[in-house]
Amino acid sequence: MTRRAGFTSFIGQRWAVLFFVIELIFFSSLAGGFFALNGVQIVLFYSTTLALLATAETMVIVTGGIDLSVGFVMGFASVVSAKLVGGFTDRGLPPDVALLLAILITLAIGLLPGLVNGLLIARLKVPPFLATFSVQGITYGIALLLTQGSAAVNVPNLANMIGNGYFIYLIPGHGISFFTAPPATPGVTVIDIIPTMVVVTVLFIAICAFVLKRTKFGQHTYAIGGNIDAAVRAGINANRHLVIIYVISSFLATLSGIIYMLEYVTGKSDAGSSFMLDSIVAVVIGGASLFGGVGTVWRSILGVLILSVLEMGLKMMGVQTFDKYIAVGAILIFAVLIDQFFPELIHKED
Amino acid sequence: MGYLLEVRNITKRFGGLVAVNNVSMGVNTGEVVGLLGDNGAGKSTLIKVISGVYPADQGTVLFQGNEVHITSPMDALAMGIETIYQDLALAENLNTPSNIFLGREKMKKILGFLNVLDHDYMQQESRKILEKLDILIPSLRNRIRALSGGQRQAVAISRSIYWDAKFLIMDEPTAALGVAEQKKVIDTINRLKSHGIGIVVISHQMHDVFQVADRLIIMRRGEKVAERITHETNADEIVSLIVGAETVTQNPGRAAAP
């Protein structure tokens, strides 16, 4: 390999990292308080829901498909869980039991959109684009019906405590407390470290990253995305595999919706409306190929962080977030061009 | 001992079209048979009957002396009958060991309960099989996409041999390859022969077939029109048999003695 090709390859593989670093330097110097503990935590906290959707989207895109329904499955889940927990508490259940029941039932219901997607795509050979687009409409419609077009807000305060709680509370010189905030005392400063929802999100992302990279299931996911005929000839049940992938995608979107409900103490049918595009953009920035077979969860998460830093940074600078859409569009075009022109440089080894 | 693989009186029709008409042939262990014919002569259909893609309308298939019923490609694979397709059936986004072990991955346990891919083992085994067949792949970690056509062909062959193929069907193995690469594939086929594998090669490259095949079977319009020992014939005769310019009587007595 010539030096020039080596250089292009280097940039091709790492432009997203470089871009992220430049972004951080830019906003740290221009937006006050951005690179402080709080600033970082706000970005991470804001990223949780999108990160789960991008993880779901990564698994689907690696198979060569696409899931346009994740954003609205997320909104649907936030509405269903909010409605359920509200209903349970109205019937006299204590908030903790109501919340737990609502979350479990929502997770179960949340498998259905994925099952429909998977069966349409794998069994009936409907193109993923159309199948998931239809399911998106249906889940959005049901969520709108459930809320009569408004938001589901009858959520107990316990959700707020969990959703906006922190993993560690540090009282300098006095002690440390996990998950529950110490009672507010005048004159004592409590440092909040790592939002609980970030911990939950990272846990699920790590499991998915592990499954995709190190297990037989993950290997078959890449094989199906690379050459589905080869996978089938090698004895892999590609149809069943695809159904499972879309169910996982829908499960993660549902989880994302539940986290949204806990964080914002509300259920909104359009909670994830902008995430349909953002999740795909994050995955593409992460170097995944929309043709399938290439992409990793952690790189997609880098894509998520690039988008979140951009949005939060612009907000902190007081710039209107409309500019974000223009920037996101430009980044997407750049990412796709890199993939188009240097695929062999980016994807030479696995 | 009889043929490794033998087909008797195979007929395959598609509606009114008789694609393969009452064809019989056999391949010995360690023998390469070239299957020749113009487009539409029925070569591919015959091969697909053997590899389980199409069921035959009439006739029997014998493998290692026993009559077998191959109803799907999976049946054929389980018996050790492998087809190396023109499109190679490799996942181009994965590396060589991943392709050799695709669908049959070697796992190992970590932390006592998690089953993960054993990349080290798969890499070592892949290196062994490639060495055994004297195949050079620059880096096993390279994705298939980064390999040349001949190297891909070699990976596909290695996979079938690693999983104990006894009989190989190769569809146009040298098509779309450069001259140097064609020679490598031919070397590989000769090496497989010395390992006792039975091989059928379909090819339009007369020159290549003459280099590797011990015996040639010529088909025309679904029928077997001739069978020749390679070193007793020449390209001119074969071409005229393929296009039907010369009337030739079938001479099964000249088939290689098993």
> What is the domain range of residue A210?
33-343
Query: Does B85 fall in a domain?
Result: no
pLDDT of residue A324: 78
Number of domains in chain B: 2
pLDDT of residue B253: 46
Q: Is B145 on the interface with A (CB under 8 A)?
A: yes
Closest CA–CA distance from residue A164 to any residue of chain B (Å): 33
> What is the domain range of residue B119?
90-164
- Name every chain B residue with its beta carbon within 8 A of the beta carbon of A214: 116-117
At residue A265's C-alpha, the angle toward residues A189 and A109, to 5°, is 135
Instruction: Please give the Cα distance from A332 to A150 (Å, whole number).
Output: 33
What value does the mean pLDDT take over residues B112-138?
Answer: 90
Confidence of residue A126 (pLDDT cuts 50, 70, 90): very high
Average pLDDT, chain A: 88
CB contact under 8 A, B91 and A220: no
Exposed / middle / buried, residue A119 (Cβ in 10 Å: 0-12, 13-18, 19+): middle
- Specify the CATH number for the domain of residue A243: 1.10.3470
- Name every chain B residue with its beta carbon within 8 A of the beta carbon of A220: 103
Q: To probe the interface with A, which of B75, B94, B142, B152 has the most A CB atoms within 10 Å?
A: B94
pLDDT of residue A348: 53
Note the pLDDT tens digit of each residue in B19-32.
Answer: 999 999 999 999 99
Number of domains in chain A: 1
Question: β-strand B215-220 against B32-36: which pairing, if any?
Answer: parallel
Same domain flag for B117 and B190: no
pLDDT of residue A287: 87
Note the pLDDT tens digit of each residue in A51-96.
Answer: 999 999 999 999 999 999 999 999 999 999 999 999 999 998 999 9
CB contact under 8 A, A219 and B98: yes
For residues A343 and B238, the model is more confident at B238
Note the pLDDT tens digit of each residue in A191-220.
Answer: 888 899 999 999 999 999 999 999 999 999
Same domain flag for B185 and B247: yes
Query: Does B95 fall in a domain?
Result: yes
Query: What is the ipTM for the molecules in this complex?
Result: 0.83
Instruction: Give the number of other Cβ atoms within 10 Å of residue A136's Cβ.
Output: 23
Checking if the pLDDT of B148 tops 80, the result is yes
**Residue finishing a domain among B112, B144, B164:** B164
Closest CA–CA distance from residue A274 to any residue of chain B (Å): 31
Please name the residue that has the structure tokens 């009337």.
B247
- Least confident span in A102-106, A120-124, A157-161, A328-332: A328-332
Same domain flag for B43 and B67: yes
pTM of the entire predicted model: 0.86
CB contact under 8 A, A226 and B93: yes
Question: β-strand A191-195 against A166-171: which pairing, if any?
Answer: antiparallel
Q: Which residues of B155-179 are buried (b: 16+ CB within 10 A; e: fewer)?
A: bbbbbbbbeebbbbbbbbbbeebee
Query: Does A275 fall in a domain?
Result: yes
Please name the residue that has the structure tokens 């006095």.
A174
Instruction: Please give the Cα distance from B136 to B127 (Å, whole number).
Output: 9
